[in-house]
Every structure is written in structure tokens, then in C-alpha cells.
Amino acid sequence: MSEHTITVAGVAIDTRHWIGGERVASTQTFPDVSPIDGSTIGDICRGTAMEAAAAVAAAKAAFPAWAATPRAERARILHAIADGVEKRIEELAIVETTDNGALLRSHRRGVMPRVAHNFRFFADWLLSLEHEDFETRGHTNHVSWDPAGPCVLITPWNAPLMLATWKVAPALAAGDTVVLKPAEWSPLTASLLADIAAEAGLPAGVLNVVQGYGSEIGDALTSHPDVRRISFTGSVPTAKRIAESAAANLTPLSLELGGKSPLLVFADADLDLAVDLAVEQYDNAGQVCLAGTRLLVEEAVAEEFTRRFVQKASTLKQGDPRDEAIDIGPNIHPRQLEKIDGFVQRAVAAGARAVIGGQRGDGQYYAPTLLTDVAQDSEIVQEEVFGPVLTLQTFTDEEEAVRLANGTRFGLAATVFTGDPDRAERVTARLVAGTVWVNCFFVRDLQAPFGGSRLSGVGREGGTWSFDFYCDVKNTVTAPSGWRNHG
């Protein structure tokens, strides 16, 4: 173990960058703090433009060989990475929980298995990726997906490894090489992924990981002329900065951003189901981009819905996310907690009523909060809080429901509870959202498109959409034999 190794629950983690198949240190570090108890987990290498350039150079050097690697071999290595993830699920789960405070039980049983599945899914999808050739005036059109080049992948802290691999897996499958920059509040599992990929036989330089503050290393990555794709998940203000920086080289961008998604409950809905899934919006302490944070409930059932919601929410246990009995863990950072509380206190000052919550708990915990008496154009209804804070508004008919649902600048997701299939069809057709759930929540197949409309993002990923993004799609038109151009 080097002086750069830290251990979390017995798991050794290298705190350096991973560039060109080697661990590389920086002269400076930044502290990685656990949201569970505010303790410093370790000091992580703090990348600068120099490490950014070295990582892109490594990705560029590794690109030709990886792009030329037969699809079956690329798929085999991706499956080997998935095997490595599966072997280390317990380790990855405890490290991620310590680092970002999300529930250990969901990391163990949902998130980390899904990380492995990300690699398996895109490996298999790669092998099935074919368009039928087609003909134009006797000429054959053949469509192929050519690897694009080095990609910069930048990820947030709320689901660090899950969101990273949602980008890394399709990029590697496509034959691209990667520089991954995880969030500075949750840098650890990206380092473990580098170990797992190396053990799986991924050649040096195909996956590189650089650590550091986005404000210090980000621009050097996103403005680099050798980078052929940038995929970013995070906030709208950062996305705007990245888009400006990428504009210098017209680097294609995929942006998965924030949301303020509506959850509509019609009077004809199964109210117990609607309440159960509405309370689930507090998952991960509300730090979920897709969360349906605006409850829109038909007037006729609003009182009953609220009563059952409050009852159900009161059973939630908040505390140490390593405890299997806990439902809600801490928020990521004191700064985030302050931001959440600022939103709530301003809403209350503007006339909102906290039916439950409305204040901080001990440490880095915020009480699950439901605010009523909120105006459609108020800050609390319009802006993403990214904490355990929901608003409740009522509507009297479908027209008003759709107007309120679509009445923000976001368009990531929407959820509709109704017992009437015709209504479901009418309403979902009118909602502006990348994903709409009817009488369910959070279920998603990796073949399906995922992304946001309006300020919630640019582009779609998943299945073929991912390959369309990570590849230079090419059409090769071949003349029939003996063909001559006679004008």
C-alpha cells in the first residue's frame, strides 16, 4: 500500500488519478468528507490542467488500438468488468455509502448490481448493433457506428458509480476511450472502478480517471481539442459553462440535468399506491434528479391524500445510512443543507405552510418536508431544491393539471396516477418530459431512451441512442458492380 492509499471499512482505495494505466499524484489534495458524521475520509489528489492534459493525451494514444479491437473482444472485457463489479458489490456499496451518504441497503441490492448490468447490457447491445443495408437506385447504403474518439465524462455525487458507468459502459462498448471526472464530494468509487477495469484486462489509457474540483480541472477537459464527446450529468449552471467551453471545438455534448418533476394524482387513482410512491420521492434524502417533487393532487381527494401521506411519511426512519432499518440518510454537504433550508425558509416567509418538516435535524440531516399553499410562480415550485422537500398543489380538472405540470422550465420526468386508461393516454401525450410513468415510478429499461426536455437536458441516452452519441455514424454507399455514371 502506498502513502496514497486510504481504507474505508477495510477497502483499500488509491487517492491518485489513474492516467495511462498508472497511478499519478498531484502536488495538492482536497479533503473528502463523509456526510454521515462529517469525518474526513481522506485527502484526494487535486487535479489541475496538467493532469487533464495528460489524461486526454493517454486517451488519445489508446484510442486507435481500442477502436480497432473487435467488437467481441470489447464485449468480453466489458463482461469481465461486470464480473469484477459483482465480486466487489459489498465493498463498492460500503465505500459509496460512506462517501455520499445514500442507503447501504439500496447500494447493495439495487445500485451496484445495476452498475454491473450497465456493462453487460452495453456489451450485448454492441454485438446486436446492425442496421439492414438498403438500396438507392441500385446502390447499397451501409450504416456503421464508428468510434468517435476520446470522451470526457463528468458526473455528480448523488449516484456516483451508477451514473458514471451509465456513460463509461456505452463509451467503451462503442470503441471510444474515456477520461472520467467524478464529483469532488464523492470521488472514491471511480478510483475502485479503475482498479476493476485494469484487473479485467482493459488496456492502459482506455479508461482514465482524474480527480479534483470541477472549477479547477473542468475547463481544461471540456475545451480540449482532442476530446470528441462530452457527456455531463449535473446542474444547469455547470452545463451552461461546459457548453460554452465545448463551443470552441464544437464538441458534441450530452447533458443530463436537473428536474422539478410533477407527480399527478387524479381522484380516480389507487390512492394507497399514489401515497406510497409519493413518499418514495424522499429517497436518497431527495437527492434524485428524477424525483417527483411537485405533488399535484385533484381537489376532491387532496385532503384524504394529504392525511395518508403524512401518516406514511411519519413512519420513515432517518439516520445512519449504513443501518438497514433506516429509510433516509444525510444530505451530502453542509453547503447543500444550507441551500435546502434557504429554499424552505424563503417559501415559508412567502406564505407556504410546512405540513411536515420544515427544518434541519441534527448533523447533516433535513427533516422530510411537505409544503402546501405554494404559488405556481414561486421559487419553491419553480426551482430544483435537491433535498427532501416536496410541494403540494391542487387542481380541479385535467386541463389545470397539465398546465401546472408543464409550468416550469424543466422537463425531466412526470408521474401520473389514474385509474382511467383513456385519461392516462390523454394526459401523458400532453406532458413535456423525457420519461413519464403511469401508476409506477423509477422502473426503466436500459434500451429505452433517457434524458430531459427543456432545461433538463440535451439528447437522449440508452440503447441505440447511446451508440448514436458515442459514435460517428457513417453511411457507406457502394455502386453495383460495373456501374458507370452516365449523368
The residue behind cell 481522506 is 42
Tell me the torsion sign for CA atoms 319, 322, 324, 328: positive
Q: Which is nearer to ligand NAD, 52 or 75 (CB)?
A: 52
DSSP state of 304: H
Q: Does 238 bind ligand NAD (CB under 6 A)?
A: yes
Q: Does 111 bind ligand NAD (CB under 6 A)?
A: no
Q: Which is nearer to ligand NAD, 298 or 461 (CB)?
A: 461
- Binder to ligand NAD among 147, 234, 459, 463 (CB under 6 A)? 234
Q: Does 387 bind ligand NAD (CB under 6 A)?
A: no
* Nearest alpha carbon to residue 355 among 385, 310, 394: 310
CA distances from 213 to 154, 156, 183, 199, 220 (A): 11, 12, 7, 28, 12
289 as an active site residue: the answer is: yes
Catalytic member of 45, 289, 461, 471 = 289
CA distances from 348 to 297, 372, 388, 394 (A): 20, 10, 15, 18
Q: How far is the CB of 29 from ligand NAD (least distance, A)?
A: 15
Q: Does 283 bind ligand NAD (CB under 6 A)?
A: no
Cell triple for 15: 487517492
Q: Are 11 and 4 in contact (CB under 8 A)?
A: no
Stretch of residues binding ligand NAD (CB under 6 A), selected from 58-66, 110-118, 176-184, 342-350: 176-184
Q: Does 233 bind ligand NAD (CB under 6 A)?
A: yes
User: For residue 433, what are the contacts with CB-CB under 8 A and spacing of at least 6?
Assistant: 261, 411, 412, 413, 414, 452, 453
Stretch of residues binding ligand NAD (CB under 6 A), selected from 16-24, 26-34, 92-100, 227-235: 227-235
Q: Does 266 bind ligand NAD (CB under 6 A)?
A: no
- Binder to ligand NAD among 208, 211, 222, 364 (CB under 6 A)? 222
Q: How far is the CB of 234 from ligand NAD (least distance, A)?
A: 3
151 as an active site residue: the answer is: no
- Binder to ligand NAD among 43, 86, 124, 219 (CB under 6 A)? 219
Angle at 196 between CA 191 and CA 197, to 5 degrees: 95
Q: How far is the CB of 427 from ligand NAD (least distance, A)?
A: 22
Q: Does 158 bind ligand NAD (CB under 6 A)?
A: yes
Q: Does 101 bind ligand NAD (CB under 6 A)?
A: no
Over the window 116 to 155, marking each residue x when it contacts ligand NAD by CB under 6 A and - when it does not, the resulting string is --------------------------------------xx
Over the window 335 to 374, marking each residue x when it contacts ligand NAD by CB under 6 A and - when it does not, the resulting string is ----------------------------------------
Dihedrals phi, psi of 58, to nearest 5 degrees: -65, -40
Q: Does 386 bind ligand NAD (CB under 6 A)?
A: yes
Cell triple for 322: 449504513
Rounded to whole angstroms, the Cα distance separating 186 from 192 reads 12
Q: Which is nearer to ligand NAD, 244 or 272 (CB)?
A: 244
Rounded to whole angstroms, the Cα distance separating 310 from 326 reads 18
10 Å CB burial of residue 210 (0-12, 13-18, 19+) is buried
Catalytic member of 184, 256, 298, 384 = 256
Q: Which is nearer to ligand NAD, 77 or 239 (CB)?
A: 239
Q: Does 223 bind ligand NAD (CB under 6 A)?
A: no
DSSP state of 202: P
Q: Which is nearer to ligand NAD, 153 or 347 (CB)?
A: 153
Q: Does 181 bind ligand NAD (CB under 6 A)?
A: yes
Q: Does 385 bind ligand NAD (CB under 6 A)?
A: no
Q: 232 forms bridges with which residues in the sheet?
A: 154, 255
Q: Which is nearer to ligand NAD, 176 or 184 (CB)?
A: 184
In what helix (H) or strand (E) does residue 341 lie, and over which residues does it extend?
helix 334-349
Q: Which is nearer to ligand NAD, 206 or 412 (CB)?
A: 412
Beta strands in 207-360 (DSSP E): 207-209, 229-233, 253-256, 262-265, 294-298, 353-356
Give the SS3 label for residue 15: coil
- Which contacts of 374-380 are long-range, i.e. CB under 8 A and separated by 24 or more positions? 374/347, 375/350, 375/351, 376/404, 376/407, 378/347, 378/350, 378/352, 379/343, 379/346, 379/347, 379/350, 380/343, 380/344, 380/346, 380/347, 380/350, 380/352
Q: Does 289 bind ligand NAD (CB under 6 A)?
A: yes
Active site residues: 256, 289
Which residues in this chain contact ligand NAD in the complex, by CB under 6 A? 154-158, 163, 181, 183-184, 214-215, 218-219, 222, 233-235, 238, 241-242, 256-259, 289, 384, 386, 412, 452, 457
